[in-house]
Amino acid sequence: MPESEIICVICPVGCKVLVRHKDAEIVSVSGSECARGDEYAAKECLSPERILTATVAVDGGELARLPVKTDRRIRKDQLLICARELSRARMRAPVALGDVVVADILGTGANVIATRPVQRAAAGAAA
Ligand code: SF4
């Protein structure tokens, strides 16, 4: 029966959680110090999710690139295709912290948002 050892990252303790699974079913979870770790490890084993972070081009800003991230985790196997989609996005300064860059990227339910503001470039200094 397949086993996966997952390091729980929910808190700094970093428990090693052993998940035994068969096909798409969890058979047992052991080694965690709390129920949050069981839940995290089971999900990480069967359907891992991550926050996507990237940068997108910004026109007329004090910076040439705008740091962005998804406002929720998306399936790990969707990261690459979402990153490719995001590579086509462009913003125009000014951009505020939290502005939506791409809404519901590829139907994942996650919005891509700006993680910092970008002001307009000073006259004659556009990026
Ligand atoms: S299982 Fe619980 S105690 Fe252990 S790292 Fe995860 S959240 Fe922390």
- Work out which ligand 1 atom sits closest to the CA atom of 38: 1
Compute the CA torsion angle 39, 45, 47, 53 (nearest 10 deg). 90
Q: What pLDDT does residue 1 have?
A: 81
**Distance (Å) from CA 43 to ligand 1 centroid:** 14
CATH placement of domain 53-114: 3.10.530.10
Q: What is the mean pLDDT of each run of 10 residues along the chain (127 residues)?
A: 92 97 92 96 93 97 97 97 97 98 98 98 70
Distance in angstroms (rounded) separating the CA atoms of residues 89 and 67: 12
Q: Whose CA is nearest to atom 6 of ligand 1?
A: 37
Domain boundaries, the chain: 3-47, 53-114
CA-wise closest residue to 103 among 76, 79, 68: 68
- Ligand 1: does its nearest atom lie under 6 Å from the Cβ of 8? yes
Distance in angstroms (rounded) separating the CA atoms of residues 112 and 124: 30
Q: In the numeric block, which tokens belong to residue 109?
A: 């339910």
φ, ψ at 89 (rounded to 5°): -75, 150
